[in-house]
Amino acid sequence: PHITFISSTGAVRTVEGPVGQSVMEIAKRHGVDGIVGECGGCCACATCHVHVAADWRERVGPPSADEADMLEFVSERREGSRLSCQIRVREALDGLVVHTPERQG
């Protein structure tokens, strides 16, 4: 599936990754700016924060309780905030669009 990342300055990057990987892993593999992923995907650092584009929120779904707790710590929390390591890519998410915040943490 393809995932498009849009930075806070409007830079657009579309990359492709395999089903089953997380959005964070795919971003890191392709060197997408704005995703840090310090904890390696354990839902423990919140440096993989993204804003899911409005059209995609329903398909992506809401954060789990643990993820929602971590989202309390991010700056720039908005509707659509998710930790990208907790979004598993599946075929139904082909074309997913997420926005990366101006800074992580």
Binding residues (CB under 6 A) for ligand FES: these are 24, 37-39, 41-48, 83, 85
Nearer to ligand FES, 18 or 40 (CB): 40
DSSP3 helix / strand / coil % (the chain, rounded to 5): 25, 20, 50
- Output the CA angle 54-56-61, nearest 5 degrees: 105
Beta pairing, strands 2-6 & 12-16:
antiparallel
Nearer to ligand FES, 26 or 85 (CB): 85
Nearest residue to ligand FES, by Cβ distance, number only: 85
Report the nearest approach of ligand FES to the CB of residue 58 (Å).
Answer: 22
Report the nearest approach of ligand FES to the CB of residue 48 (Å).
Answer: 3
| Burial category of 96 from C-beta neighbours within 10 Å (exposed 0-12, middle 13-18, buried 19 and up) | buried
Report the nearest approach of ligand FES to the CB of residue 84 (Å).
Answer: 6
